[in-house]
């Protein structure tokens, strides 16, 4: 199961753009569905992500975001 996940989700690199989905519970109908950010650092396979507004408070696992193609 773990190897299947590792094959499906490639490892993110520092400086890559990512898209983080916002849960429906945390947003209003008029809010955006996701936010864009950049991987700032990697700590124990958890990713610190920054946006134009600053760093996000929590660390994210690889399955919690998508790496943008451009």
Domain ranges of the chain: 2-67
Q: What is the reported pLDDT for 6?
A: 63
Per the CB < 8 A criterion, the answer to whether 50 and 36 are in contact is: no
- pTM of the predicted protein model: 0.80
Q: Does domain 2-67 match CATH 2.30.30.140?
A: yes
Residues of the chain whose pLDDT is less than 70?
Answer: 1-7, 70
CA gap 26, 15 in Å, rounded: 27
- Residue 44 φ/ψ region, left for φ over 0, alpha for ψ in the -120 to 50 degree band, beta for the rest: left
């Amino acid at each position: 199961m773990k190897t299947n996940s590792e094959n499906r989700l490639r490892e993110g690199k520092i400086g890559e753009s990512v898209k983080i989905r916002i849960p429906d519970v945390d947003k209003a109908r008029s809010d955006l569905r996701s936010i864009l950010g950049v991987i700032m650092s990697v700590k124990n396979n958890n990713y610190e992500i920054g946006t134009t507004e600053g760093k996000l408070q929590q660390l994210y696992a690889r399955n919690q975001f998508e790496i943008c193609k451009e």
